Amino acid sequence: MTKHEFDFRVAYADTDRMGVVYYANYLVLFERGRTELLRHMGFCYRDIEENDKVFLPVIESSCQYMAPAYYDDLIRVRTFVSDVGRASVSFRYEIENVQTGRALVKGSTKHPFVSQSWKPVRAPEKVRKALLAAKEQL
């Protein structure tokens, strides 16, 4: 199983009026996580789009908020490949406070592989093989 993790310092601009990370910003962190996971696996989203003419839009997302993160907190984003189909991939995410180890957010996203005309297509074989090798064994 391959995972990718990175640490992120919460900036003031990431918080809402109540002083906690704005809920939608976690979806942005999910995107960063899967982009970096793919890069860690040897692929770049941009190259897949430009060279293979294949895109990965989000068709489903979920987010479970368990505890707030605040300005200047250091948080860790972990990304995993949770499922791989012939024409789709799903990712799972965990976000925690680095200093306390407290779980903050758990989530997932599902992505079909589509052509430039938004028609479903099979994943490029090299990408699919790498995703299958990286998939969590549950």
Q: Among the options 7, 14, 16, 72, which is catalytic?
A: 16
Q: How many domains is the chain built from? A: 1
Determine whether 47 is an active site residue. no
- The CA distances from residue 35 to 27, 46, 101, 118, in Å, are 12, 10, 24, 20
* pTM of this prediction exceeds 0.85: yes
CATH number of the CATH domain containing 16: 3.10.129.10
CB of 77 closer than 8 Å to CB of 33: yes
Boundaries of domain holding 127: 3-134
**DSSP string covering 16-82:** -TTSBB-TTHHHHHHHHHHHHHHHHTT--HHHHHHHH--B----EEEEEE-S--BTT-EEEEEEEEE
Q: What pLDDT tens digit does each residue of the chain (138 aa) get?
A: 678 999 999 999 999 999 999 999 999 999 999 999 999 999 998 999 999 999 999 999 999 999 999 999 999 999 999 999 999 999 999 999 999 999 999 999 999 999 999 999 999 999 999 999 999 765
